[in-house]
A and B are shown apart, each in its own frame.
Chain A
């Protein structure tokens, strides 16, 4: 059955229309969870507000489990679902640069659109920065395309790399997430907190 557009069960225009609807859900949930506030987002790095960690990991394990169950029930063909390729060098270096951008700017791309949609001017300026950053990458592409393409490993699953089945890895990740939720609750009691 799924993925619907890959199996051509829906037209390309229906796929784009559903992208818009899914985007509304994405933006709505982000805003409802407080991801429109940079001070709330940055809170996770100081322990005073760990909403980012809770929402992020709860979402990751929900979607991961959902995909595994959908596959088990024959509702989705996981071999047709895109698995992000692994270019080791750029995954690490890109992640480090994004991490610096996160603690300095207080947003990530998705949350900055969410913040701007309710009138946060700092989010709007962050979006301006995003465009400049992407443009710099484009203009200097010849300088860093070696690093961009380095250490290509294909599209391995982390479960394969660790020599585990998907189910066992999923179980371990849930245990890790629950442990982090417990630490997060402890940190919020320890560090003073206010709502932004």
Chain B
């Protein structure tokens, strides 16, 4: 018997259950590798690889790349976070496929155009990418993983991220509501 009410995408998971499951994933990361989850570190790996290949001369001089290489000797793509983020893409895709949510689209408030949404997404991405390097990690690596190990810096970064987003929310409300 088919359930005619459930023709649309499957509903999302209860957020408290989702949170506990995410916490168990984070616990597993610490138990296996001694470090938490992350995301922006994988982007750094990819960029270091690209720069080393495209402009080997300038990449030799970069203090940023030097610092990365000291922490990660060997192939920059053979790092924990690169493998983890590859898994994130697979896991997200599997979940979307099971829930019937696979679809190419630009998601935006009806009050703005797709074009405006994409410009804002690009701008936000640039800021987040820059901030994640300055802050030594993003919402996953610095805030969430830092909080789990009670890192003072993790709590400070978490409060700065959410505090700023709340403080600026009023000015960007038309993009979302």
Write the residues of chain A forming the contact surface with B, with a CB cutoff of 8 angstroms: 2-6, 10, 15-34, 36-40, 42-43, 45-46, 48, 50-51, 54-64, 66-67, 70, 75-76, 78, 80-88, 90-123, 125-139, 141-142, 144-145, 147-148, 153, 155-161, 166, 169-170, 181, 195-196
Contact = CB atoms under 8 A, between A and B. Distances in A.
Contacts of B84: 19-20, 22-23, 26
Contacts of A121: 104-106, 118
A141 B177 CA distance: 37
A108 B138 contact: yes
Contacts of A63: 23-24, 26-27, 30, 36, 144, 148
Given A4-B31, A32-B18, A98-B135, A86 B118 contact: no
A177 to B, nearest CB: 9
Nearest to A166: B150
B163 interface: yes
Interface in B121-177: 121-169, 172-173, 175-177
B176 A39 contact: yes
Interface of B: 11-13, 15-16, 18-40, 43-44, 46-47, 51, 62-65, 78, 80-81, 83-96, 99, 101-109, 117-118, 120-169, 172-173, 175-177
A78 B149 CA distance: 9
11 contacts: A22-B28, A23-B83, A29-B91, A95-B161, A97-B134, A106-B120, A107-B124, A125-B121, A130-B128, A138-B51, A153-B153
B169 to A, nearest CB: 4
A49 to B, nearest CB: 9
B12 to A, nearest CB: 4
Contact of A46 (B24, B85, B155, B177): B177
B94 A24 contact: yes
Contacts of A95: 131, 135, 142-143, 156-161, 163-164
A124 to B, nearest CB: 9
A33 B130 CA distance: 27
Given A64-B148, A99-B160, A105 B107 contact: no
Contacts of A36: 92, 96, 101
Contact of B148 (A60, A76, A96, A181): A60
Contact of A101 (B64, B128, B145, B154): B128
Contacts of A16: 78, 80, 83
Given A64-B147, A138-B64, A103 B172 contact: yes
A146 to B, nearest CB: 12
Given A98-B131, A138-B62, 11 more contacts: A24-B94, A25-B91, A27-B93, A29-B95, A32-B12, A36-B101, A45-B166, A90-B135, A90-B136, A98-B139, A98-B161
Given A86-B151, A98-B131, A109-B128, A131 B91 contact: no
